[in-house]
Amino acid sequence: MTIRDQYMNELEGLLMKVPEQVRKEWLYDYYIHFQQAHENGQTEEEAARELGDPRLIAGELLLGYRVDQAESNNSFSKLSRAVFATVSLGLFNIIFILGPYLALAAVLLALWAVAVAVGLAGVGIVIESLWNGTFNIAQALTLGLISCSITILLIIGLNALTKAFFKMTLKYLKFNTRIVRGNQK
């Protein structure tokens, strides 16, 4: 097996998580690089060395793909995949990306849980008052309405906070990617 074949097989294996169409487009660029290197009189070994480590290339390609996916589809799973793709690029990223991401995501999740709990508390006050007569109907409905109003305000605020968290995380991932790529060139 030639050096080019080994290189391309390794790169393709590392990119199996990406849909076939995208993977073929990326791999085509690398096949062209080997072809142009051959036409310019370079050996396959020189062309492979010029391209760099296939694991690093795959990591960068996956990172770009995951960030694009997270931008087009605001979901925690897509954003988390982008974060973990960034983390795979090095130890520095584990400390400066994964830690803050997990901490902020946990705080955000806890705030959403509080909003739901406040809403359920309002419903619980009304039901409990009807069942056991803790408050009269007017008091129970007032407390339930206040609780539900606070829940609505929390949801509005948390929705804006969640969108800001997504935007800031994606911006930071892109910035970090530029830094990593700049350090390698």
Q: Which of 18-22, 42-46, 97-101 has the lowest mean pLDDT?
A: 97-101
Residue 185 pLDDT: 46
pTM as predicted: 0.72
| Residues 125-161 pLDDT 10s | 999 999 998 899 999 999 999 999 999 999 999 999 9
pLDDT at 119 over 90: yes
pLDDT at 3 over 60: yes
DSSP 2: -
The torsion angles phi and psi of 53, rounded to 5 degrees, stand at -65, 125
Residue 180 pLDDT: 64
Mean pLDDT of the chain: 89
List the domain boundaries for the chain: 91-184
pLDDT at 91 over 90: no
At a CB cut-off of 8 Å and minimum separation 6, what does 123 contact? 144, 147, 148
Residue 174 pLDDT: 83
Specify which of 26-35, 91-100, 114-123 reaches the highest per-range mean pLDDT.
Answer: 114-123
d(CA 120, CA 22): 45
At a CB cut-off of 8 Å and minimum separation 6, what does 8 contact? 27, 30, 31, 34
Residue 12 pLDDT: 93
At a CB cut-off of 8 Å and minimum separation 6, what does 118 contact? 147, 150, 151, 154
| Residues 30-50 pLDDT 10s | 999 999 998 999 999 999 999
